Amino acid sequence: MSSTLNPLFQHFETYIPLSTPLRQELESRIRIRSFKKGQLLHDAKYVCSESHFIQKGLVRVFFEKDGKEISEYFSAEGEWVNSPRSFMQQQQDIYSIDALEDTDTYCLQVRDLIYLFDHFPEMDRYSRLTMGILFGHFMERITSMRFTTAKEKYEHFRSVYHDICHRLPLGMIASYLGITQETLSRIRAEK
């Protein structure tokens, strides 16, 4: 399975050196999963026990409010996705994850990730570095949501998701931005 995991190993190596023992542990613990478009990677009804590194495809993290699905964020190739609070605290929360395209992932169970953190200090470093990037992204999103116009929100969205925005349905983009699809269409027509 080693060559199959090369994209994941390359991702890790942009942050940390991968020792032979760590590679071997990853190989023994990672499962390859495939999801069809529309299939749930995680259902909010359950505790999130898996984290997925996307090899190919596109997913959305969302929640339901008043019968509507609200898109929280999107992940594509080369990114991890899970329901963070549920995964880390091992309790239910509001987020589900669905495949917006046929998606292939490398999957790690929470117990395996804890083992890797406990036995490989470089995994702790990897986690801190990647969480710092993620935290910065969420802070930008909060600022954008609170202090910008609908047009500025859309421009920020396009800069953050420039590689995948053309792959996302307009209704999901609008729900992510907290605006109506009509407002989004008007903003896009102004270009």
Structural domain contains residue 150: no
CA distance 173 to 184: 8
CA distance 125 to 131: 10
Asked whether the predicted pLDDT for residue 151 surpasses 60, the reply is yes
Residue-averaged pLDDT of the chain: 91
3-state secondary structure of 90: coil
Average pLDDT over residues 173-180: 93
Nearest to 72 by CA among 150, 148, 133, 157: 157
Asked whether the predicted pLDDT for residue 2 surpasses 60, the reply is no
Query: Which backbone phi and psi does 63 adopt, to 5 degrees?
Result: -135, 165
Show the domain range for 113.
2-119
Structural domain contains residue 161: no
Asked whether the predicted pLDDT for residue 134 surpasses 80, the reply is no
CATH number reported for the structural domain that contains residue 112 in this entry: 2.60.120.10
Q: 0.85 exceeded by the pTM?
A: yes
Asked whether the predicted pLDDT for residue 57 surpasses 60, the reply is yes
101 token code pair: 């395209």
Structural domain contains residue 180: no
